[in-house]
Homo-oligomer: A and B are copies of this chain.
Amino acid sequence: MITSPTLQIDTKQCSENINKMVEKCRANNAIFRPHFKTHQSARIASLFKTVGVDKITVSSVRMAQYFAKRGWSNITIAFPFNVLEKDKLMLFPKNTQLNLLVNNTQQVTAIKQTVNFKVNILIEIDVDYARSGVHFTKTDEINELLNEISSSSNLNFQGFLSHFGNSYSARGVDEIRSIYEKGRSAMLRLKSEFILEYPDLIVSIGDTPCCSVIERFDGIDEIRPGNFVYYDLMQWQIGSCGLDEIACKVQCIIVSKYPERNEVIIYGGAVHFSKEQLMTESYGKIYGLLLPKSNQQSKNEKFQGHLTKLSQEHGTLKVDKEFIDSCEIGDLVSILPIHSCLTANLLLDETDFT
């Protein structure tokens, strides 16, 4: 029985989201290496295992250790290698194939000086998202990295990895497509430049908007979406998913009612949702949307309320008259979160799988 804020996961919907991505990868003959940073959950991981997934992505050494201990043996840490954690590389089960991401030679050197086993190295490429990675035009830097990689027999150059993160600013399928095409052509240009020397190199891309919307990944060898397993309001606004594909919601409790302000106060705040916000046309800035009370599963576009403010534990929910007239102190309400990765991270120990 739910008595405090709880993330509720619809595992049937998760499986549908997973199956769709698996099918797409099969049709494209692409490796499916889902990012596990969204759920960080052994339970959700098992849904992937059931459909034959055996390669995964994580965003920290700690997460890699968590899943390695649970039998996952082919793990890409898709975060610029943190040289201060190099000694932790020695603590993985012997059968773990680690694939590490680098964008500067110091990282390669640190890995080389540490490991006494084979690791794959991916070079991180920036295709104008301008977060991390070597810009795709800087072939000199790439060659420098390849030289350092080839100086150790324990290091194997696996390929180029990129995150087309600017797809998060896209609105609608056309904008996502155009970001994808730009990124893809940059990555394929690199691939063609280096494939003769490295015939096994792969090109790996990863964001949920592109992976959800694009049907044909010509020339792309691997995809690493993560968020798609739960989706959220941010992805809905981008155009990556329908509301009915969102597999998570946060159950909160009504603790105060203010009919004259059309507001209820819920137990459910920044330590449950995170403070990720979304600008919407209909409601302005929101922290979440209230699912209809009568049929919380229907997820149509009619919402009875939206979260306008979050304190540490309180949420302020602006609601319509129909809702406030029928709700009671102690009622559970279901809220769609803005960013499921951050919400799931906060509610890892308060998750309910249905």
Which residues of A are in contact with B by a Cβ distance under 8 Å? Answer: 2-4, 37, 59-62, 79-85, 88, 103-104, 106-107, 110, 130-133, 165, 253, 255-258, 261, 265, 267, 270-271, 274-277, 309, 311-314, 316, 328-330, 332, 341-342, 345-346
A319 to chain B, nearest CB (A): 15
Task: Report 12 cross-chain contacts, Cβ distance below 8 Å, ordered by A residue.
Answer: A3-B84, A4-B60, A4-B61, A4-B84, A80-B267, A82-B253, A84-B330, A107-B255, A107-B329, A130-B258, A275-B342, A312-B345
Given contacts A4-B60, A107-B255, A312-B342, 14 further A-B contacts (CB under 8 A): A3-B88, A37-B313, A82-B267, A103-B256, A104-B257, A104-B329, A106-B329, A107-B329, A130-B258, A131-B311, A165-B311, A274-B275, A275-B342, A312-B341
A3, B261: Cβ atoms under 8 Å? no
Given contacts A4-B82, A106-B328, A345-B271, A316 and B59 within 8 Å (CB-CB) = no
Which of B62, B130, B267 lies in contact with A4, CB distance below 8 A? B62
Is chain A's binding surface mostly helix, strand, loop or mixed? mixed
Docked Cα-Cα span, A316 to B133, in Å, equals 13
Question: Chain B residue with minimal CB distance to A35?
Answer: B312
Are A132 and B276 neighbours in the complex by a CB distance under 8 Å?
no
A88 partner residues in chain B, CB cutoff 8 A: 3
Most B-side CB within 10 Å, residue of A256, A267, A313: A256
With a cutoff of 8 Å between Cβ atoms, the chain B residues found around residue A345 in the complex are 271, 312
**Which of A255, A267, A314 counts the most chain B CB atoms within 10 A?**
A255
Q: What's the minimum C-beta distance from A41 to chain B, rounded to whole angstroms?
A: 15
**Least distance between A166 CB and chain B CB atoms (Å):** 12
Given A131-B316, A275-B342, A345-B271 in contact, is the A82-B265 Cβ separation under 8 Å? no
Residues of B within 8 Å of A330, CB to CB, are 82-84, 106, 110
